Chains A and B, each alone.
Chain A
Amino acid sequence: MAALLSPFMTIAANRIVAGESVMAWHVASPAETLPGVAAVVLGLLFGIPSGRQDLRLCGALLGLCGILWLLMQGAPALLDSAAGDYARVSPAMGFWCLLLILTLMMADALTQMAPGPIARAGLLAAVLCSLALILWSGALAPLSILQEYAGRRAQFADAVLRHLALAFGSLATAAVIGFPLGIVCYRRAQLRGSVLPVLSLLQTIPSLAMFGLMIPILGWVGDNMPGAQAIGIAGIGFAPAFLALVLYSLLPVVGNTVAGLASAPAAARDAARGMGMTPTQRLLRIELPLGLPVILTGLRIVLVQNIGLAVIAGLIGGGGLGTFVFQGLNQTATDLILLGALPTVALALTSAIVMDILVELAQPIPKDSP
């Protein structure tokens, strides 16, 4: 309720100055705001008692529609009322708090209802589609963050692609190096004893320091190795960012591969050897299928981690959504920061959910067996 009583939107004369707060019921004419406020209040009333999960889910959805409605009504109305061509409207404290509360309610209800992997995939697709539809419809276009976007359409598309290339490319590279390394480490205890500590040391280097370290190292390589610069290796840019992400990814990939392969019961492994399976047959038929969920969990950790870390790549010229974040920081333009941050969060959440679904599908023993 307190969230509903805090300012819902702000309006500012331009994109830099601090704005003036507007309460939810003042964002537009009373007739336009009433349905929104009512939906939010009803949603919260339905959602907060924790008895029925389906009721809680409906409440959350109703509330979300409500704040969306307020945003869609409020943005153009406030812009009209404000003087000046440079005026900007953006969601404020109240909006973000309500968004958080309602999303938590939805997540909680969904966790309790425990839908199967297919249902979860469907739900995710539905959420993404409605989000895309809302953005594409232009109903929110007057919002400041989308104005920032409107000025940087091409740049934004590039940044998203670059971000994905950094996150997924480093994941793929780490997997290509990490799987074989993990398998070899699993087989040879000595090697495991020396490889894993090194990787875990790499993991403990703070991310900014790691990116910083890449600059002199790759700078030297770029300057001194013939041909290195031709393929884009230099102290700043894509290459050092990519390399740092790969290094960060190796521990979860190798560690989880080792742990996954070792998760086959000892008796089953002994039996497999005793019945005459070759090491390759044991790997493919027993250890890999039984360890797949753990291995995929490693990939999930890496993917989510890399999507987040790739933001920092913006600092060393690696491109990606981090570019907007740091530009925004320099210009104290909050909405530009959000233009970088929000898509990153959405990407990370989406990948986490998709990977969770994959992990569940990879379970080697059907769920209905006790």
Chain B
Amino acid sequence: MIEIDNLTKIYGDTHAVDAVTMRAETGSITVIVGTSGSGKTTLLRMINRLEEPTSGEVRINGEPTHVEKPHLLRRRIGYAIQGHGLFPHHTVARNIAAVPLLLGWKKQKIRDRVDELLSLFSMEPAAFRDRYPAELSGGQQQRVGVARALASRPELLLMDEPFGALDPIIRAQAQDDLRRIQQRLGSTIMLVTHDMEEAIRLGDKVAVMDGGRLVQHAAPAEIIAAPATDFVRDMVGDVERPLRLLSLIPLVELIEDGPADGDALPADASLRDALSACLWTGRSAVPVTREGIVVGRVTFEAIRNRAELHA
């Protein structure tokens, strides 16, 4: 568990981060979202002490971070940034091995870990191990950057706009990969972004920052349904709110018995997918399948009623 307690950073006379208190559960993804200048990156960088807080403290599993030497603390915390920050003169394997090397792992253990991570990120170890970063695509570089941050199985992974440099299609794929890998490894992640879409898509909890203050910290559905301030409402976007909300609700919630024609959707798809299918093909209901077997349908009517609940 990560506890942030009254954390403040003052530059001159501006409060970059102003008395932020929040808590992130082990094994969850917390996304800190805000406009530029909101203090979100400063907040993140105070957790691994790339910035020293003016006051307040951070505790990781109950242990305050300020008692340890900063560089030793950072070796326990993964760090991935926008534009990956790979070392251009080191191979992919050596990049991923960076923290294990600092920690003095045995060679064989490092080699196994590198191969394990490359496979986890769907990169064939034999093909990628000895390449240099410049020989990889943007998406591959980003994956190596995240793999490097995860290499020593850190208690916490900090990510600063990790998908910022990717084009939209690759970004969506990278987000799905991160979700999948996080669930597989049970990592605790704190991620900074300016993109509310990304926050809603990835976060178990979303923390909205504005002018150095934490204005709302809640599950994505709550952020959309009940924005705490006008700023949060703007971030979510009024027009998009119903769609964003529907994208968070799985079909399972609205399954009913009855016939429906056309292509089926899996039960873990979202209401937004179902709505889209209805609109596109002019149907009033879509069949729902679970492990390939049709288990019922979701109607256009039901989706509309569900969306109205929050209006």
A-to-B contact residues, CB < 8 Å: 265, 267-268, 270-278, 281, 285-286, 289-290, 364-366, 369-370
Those 5 A-B pairs whose CB atoms lie nearest each other, nearest first: A271-B85, A364-B89, A276-B74, A274-B79, A276-B75
A363 nearest in chain B by CB position:
B89
Query: For A270, A275, A289, which residue has the most chain B Cβ atoms within 10 angstroms?
Result: A275
Would A277 and B71 count as touching, CB distance under 8 A?
yes
Chain A neighbourhood of B86, CB < 8 A? 268, 271
Would A370 and B72 count as touching, CB distance under 8 A?
no
Would B75 and A286 count as touching, CB distance under 8 A?
no
Decide: A272 near B81, CB < 8 A? Known: A365-B132, A369-B132, A370-B134: no
Would A365 and B74 count as touching, CB distance under 8 A?
no
Would B99 and A276 count as touching, CB distance under 8 A?
yes
A285 nearest in chain B by CB position:
B87
A278 nearest in chain B by CB position:
B71
Interface status of B242 (Cβ within 8 A of chain A): no
| Residue in contact with B102 in the complex, picked from A268, A273, A276, A289, CB distance below 8 Å | A276
Would A290 and B135 count as touching, CB distance under 8 A?
no
Chain B neighbourhood of A274, CB < 8 A? 48, 50, 74, 79, 81, 85, 158
Chain B neighbourhood of A277, CB < 8 A? 71, 102
Interface status of B82 (Cβ within 8 A of chain A): yes
A263 to B: closest C-beta gap in Å: 10
Decide: A365 near B72, CB < 8 A? Known: A274-B50, A276-B99: no
A185 to B87, CA, bound (A): 23
Chain A neighbourhood of B186, CB < 8 A? none
A272 to B145, CA, bound (A): 12
Chain B, interface SS category: mixed
A89 to B75, CA, bound (A): 75
Decide: A267 near B134, CB < 8 A? Known: A276-B75, A281-B102: no
Chain B neighbourhood of A271, CB < 8 A? 79, 81, 84-87, 145, 148
**Given A272-B98, A290-B89, 18 more pairs with CB closer than 8 A:** A267-B83, A268-B87, A270-B50, A271-B79, A271-B81, A271-B85, A271-B145, A271-B148, A273-B50, A275-B78, A275-B99, A275-B149, A276-B71, A276-B75, A277-B102, A290-B88, A365-B89, A369-B132
A286 to B82, CA, bound (A): 19
A273 to B71, CA, bound (A): 8
A276 to B99, CA, bound (A): 8
Would A365 and B85 count as touching, CB distance under 8 A?
no
A26 to B131, CA, bound (A): 64
A271 to B96, CA, bound (A): 12
A160 to B: closest C-beta gap in Å: 39
A286 to B133, CA, bound (A): 14
B66 to A: closest C-beta gap in Å: 16
| Residue in contact with A275 in the complex, picked from B79, B82, B83, B131, CB distance below 8 Å | B79
Would A286 and B74 count as touching, CB distance under 8 A?
no
Complex A-B: 27 CB contacts under 8 Å:
A265-B88, A267-B83, A268-B85, A268-B86, A270-B81, A271-B79, A271-B81, A271-B85, A271-B87, A271-B145, A271-B148, A272-B87, A274-B79, A274-B85, A275-B149, A276-B72, A276-B102, A281-B102, A285-B87, A290-B88, A365-B88, A366-B132, A369-B131, A369-B132, A369-B135, A370-B134, A370-B135
